[in-house]
Amino acid sequence: MNRVSWDEYFLQIAGKVASRATCDRLHVGAVIVKNKNILSTGYNGSISGAPHCDDVGHLMLDEHCVRTVHAEANAIVQAARNGVCVEGATIYATFLPCWNCFKLIINAGIKRIVYGKEYRSDKKTVSHAKMVGVELVDFSMK
């Protein structure tokens, strides 16, 4: 058996984190890593204390479920709540981050995004990654 790369390892962990997601439209997981150490994880689910999609259904707006907080945002929030600096880290996400999550990732100081596959192609995310100097790694091609 071949040993998996670090990127594959952390992306597999993100996949396991996604199994906790509570919106059945798409289970997404994210892991923030620095120096090969996991700093934080997140999955898509409702805001703290609110009912989950899996329990009460979706809250749809413009073909998107807005009941949930995205996995990437939850990972960043969990790091912040625990006083963990994510500056210079890598985020591993099971799917290409949406535009709103991408903006949070950039402003949190994360410098590398590794994702498993595209959910909806977001050209803004791809073009702006180059513009702001963030490495974007499409792992679906590996």
Q: What is the DSSP string of 54-99?
A: HHH---EETTEE-SEEPHHHHHHHHHHHTT---TT-EEEEEEPPPH
Active site residues: 72
CA 54 to chain CA centroid, nearest Å: 20
Q: CB-based burial of residue 71 (10 Å sphere; 0-12 exposed, 13-18 middle, 19+ buried)?
A: buried
Structure tokens at 104: 């949070």
Are 79 and 59 in contact by the 8 Å Cβ rule? The answer is no
List 135's β-bridge partners, or say none: 112
